[in-house]
Amino acid sequence: MTNAIIVINAGSTSLKFGAYAVSSADSPPLLCHGEIEGMEDDPRFAVSNASGKQWDTHAWGKDRPIDHKTALQFVITWLEANIAGLKVAAAGHRIVLGGSRFAAPVRIDDDVLSYLDSLVVMEPSHQPYNVRGARALQEAFPGLPQVACFDTSFHRTMPEVAQTYALPKDVRDAGVRHWGYHGISYDYISRQVPKFAPKARRVIAAHLGGGASMCAMLDGKSVETSMGFAGMSGLPMATRSGDLPPGALFYLLRSKLFDPASLEKMLYERAGLAGLSGISDDMRVLQDSKDKEAVAAIEYFVHAMTKFTGAYAAVLGGLDAFVFTAGIGEHSAPVRAALCAKLAWLGIKLDSPANGANGPRISTADSPVSVWVIPTNEELMIAQHTHALIFPQIEASVSQRKSSHD
């Protein structure tokens, strides 16, 4: 029998998953990954094998919605029916916000879920659905061990001054602080950097995807990051605004142009690259466009990264390596080239052919700061954390599940 860990990223109308074999290796091997999307109106399932080749699909049909519990029951049943001898023995979840209680992955129980539910008011765009996925799995498979891995945990190593806003104590005590996000990705990248640049202590990583942020790391630990209290601040993103002056938000509310709900929706769904360009939130579309607004949107994106890089180099006391990761970071040679040109003052020398080939090293051999393209793997990071936390208890748990189903 092959014991497996299922990694789950639950969204509002979608559920992404990956299955990893439990083994004695440091890195659990991937068995397959897939997604159920359109859960509210047209649910569709697709799964690919470890090589990325499509394995199977399923459709429930239009106007036949399914909930998270039904989706998870389908996925786990499919895994155990289609991979010979496989038994799902543990689950790992991506949860965006761990709050002040959790600076590391944690075994999920009712108390943990109640606390995570209490944080929904801070981060309503992802947190409720991440937690809903864990609750649904608990209901469907009560004996299955579950682990929560948090995007905020990696940043709890930031100095207290970097986690604090200049607000009264009662406001800070209410949870308004610099949480930081994309921490699962940065956790993975921090473990990869020594394989590429073993002498690099002062590193800036840029996770550039639909959501975008940057992180300053010293000796593999986060000391600053661009996303702050929630997932809107810092860099401009696909549809999210990035940093804005608070006075502008008060103005929009006072002017009755928006109410709080419509303002939040605009800042999360109509701003960023989409709002700047008026064309698309997809960097590939913007790069192919000759429209001046598309060009201006990319320039703004690069300008924002330039500012954060300068600030983070100062925080780190210099810079040894810069890492690009995630969708734009891994695949957009023009964006990488534009930023590296802005950072020539740091000594960065771009290797244009290597950049065009997406790395991994895209700086010249004599560049004082090495620059890298390192693909992220948040799913694997969650599998590793789940493996480390649950593995000693897996055999007993699987036996208990088997007995309960007999």
Are both 37 and 102 inside the same structural domain? Answer: yes
Three-state helix/strand/coil letters over the chain: CEEEEEEEEECCCCEEEEEEECCCCCCCCEEEEEEEECCCCCCEEEEEECCCCEEEEEECCCCCCCCHHHHHHHHHHHHHHHCCCEEEEEEEEEECCCCCCCCCCEECCHHHHHHHHHCCCCCCCCHHHHHHHHHHHHHHCCCCCEEEEECCHHHHHCCHHHHCCCCCHHHHHCCCCCCCCCHHHHHHHHHHHHHHCCCCCEEEEEEECCCEEEEEEECCEEEEECCCCCCCCCCCCCCCCCCCCHHHHHHHHHCCCCCHHHHHHHHHHCCHHHHHHCCCCCHHHHHHCCCHHHHHHHHHHHHHHHHHHHHHHHHHCCCCEEEEEHHHHHHCHHHHHHHHHHCHHHCCCECHHHHHCCCCECECCCCCCEEEECCCCHHHHHHHHHHHHHHHHHHHHHHHHHHHHC
Contact 146, 6 (CB under 8 A): no
Are both 103 and 198 inside the same structural domain? Answer: no
Are both 82 and 209 inside the same structural domain? Answer: no
Are both 364 and 336 inside the same structural domain? Answer: yes
Are both 386 and 337 inside the same structural domain? Answer: no
> Is the per-residue pLDDT at 172 higher than 90?
yes
Are both 362 and 393 inside the same structural domain? Answer: no
Residue 385: which CATH number?
3.30.420.40
Count structural domains, the chain.
Answer: 2
225: alpha, beta or left? (left if phi > 0; alpha if psi -120 to 50): beta
Q: Establish if 168 belongs to a structural domain.
A: no
Write out the residue range of the structural domain in which residue 299 sits.
Answer: 183-375
Are both 367 and 383 inside the same structural domain? Answer: no
**What's this model's pTM, rounded to 2 decimal places?**
0.91
Q: Establish if 289 belongs to a structural domain.
A: yes
The string of pLDDT tens digits covering residues 120-135 is 999 888 999 999 999 9
> Is the per-residue pLDDT at 296 higher than 90?
yes
pLDDT at 392: 67
**Number of neighbours of residue 345 by Cβ within 10 angstroms:** 8
Are both 260 and 276 inside the same structural domain? Answer: yes
Are both 397 and 286 inside the same structural domain? Answer: no
pLDDT at 28: 86
Q: Which residues contact 359 (CB under 8 A, 6 or more apart)?
A: 324, 372, 373, 374
Mean of the pLDDT values across residues 185-204?
97
Are both 55 and 111 inside the same structural domain? Answer: yes
Q: Establish if 175 belongs to a structural domain.
A: no
Mean of the pLDDT values across residues 200-223?
97
Mean of the pLDDT values across residues 137-141?
94
Q: Establish if 279 belongs to a structural domain.
A: yes
Q: Establish if 167 belongs to a structural domain.
A: no
The string of pLDDT tens digits covering residues 360-395 is 999 999 999 999 999 999 999 999 999 999 876 544
Are both 117 and 46 inside the same structural domain? Answer: yes
Catalytic residue ranges:
151
Q: Establish if 369 belongs to a structural domain.
A: yes
Q: Establish if 138 belongs to a structural domain.
A: yes
The string of pLDDT tens digits covering residues 9-36 is 999 999 999 999 997 666 789 999 999 9
Mean of the pLDDT values across residues 296-312?
97
Q: Establish if 171 belongs to a structural domain.
A: no
Are both 129 and 223 inside the same structural domain? Answer: no
> Is the per-residue pLDDT at 63 higher than 60?
yes
